[in-house]
Homo-oligomer: A and B are copies of this chain.
Amino acid sequence: MTASALERIKVYYLEKLPFNKVLGIDIDLLDYESGQAVTSFNMTKELIGNSTAGILHGGVTASVIDLTGGLSALICCAKIHHGKPPEVLDKKLASSATIDMRVDYLRPGQGRSFQCKSRVIRAGARIVVAKIDLYNEKETRIATGTATYLIA
């Protein structure tokens, strides 16, 4: 049941959200108990935001921080609706949304591949707050963020 909820979240994110395909996002981990989520993606020419430096576009960084924190929010949503029919869960997942987000750009987005890690710092019945960090393949933290989500 739990595995099935996580599977629904994965399918929803990777197959139904076209912009996640543009970013080339993969999901490395979704932890039901803690709400932790880990995503990864590779640098491609399309994701560049500074031609001289060849670094990630700030919008890519913000997008990945938002969507990885969003996975944590969806896990919290799935836990709250545990036991309900899949079609109800799908509807709840699709109605959850980001309320606001802060992104701090700590270092230039240099790297060949990136990993983004989110953990839940507030898990309410309606509000989930996640803390999210983006690292490159050398484990240098490139950006950090905090995002607030409304879960249905």
- Give the B-binding residues of A (Cβ under 8 A): 16-20, 22-23, 45-53, 57-60, 62-64, 66-67, 70, 94, 97-108, 121-122, 126-127, 129, 131, 141, 144, 146, 148, 150
Contacts and interface: CB of A to CB of B under 8 A. Distances in A.
A89 B64 CA distance: 31
12 contacts: A17-B57, A19-B57, A19-B60, A23-B59, A52-B94, A53-B94, A58-B98, A60-B63, A104-B129, A104-B146, A104-B148, A126-B150
How many copies of the chain does the oligomer comprise? 4
Contact of A144 (B51, B67, B98, B146): B146
B144 A131 contact: yes
Contact of A129 (B53, B106, B129, B131): B106
B121 A18 contact: no
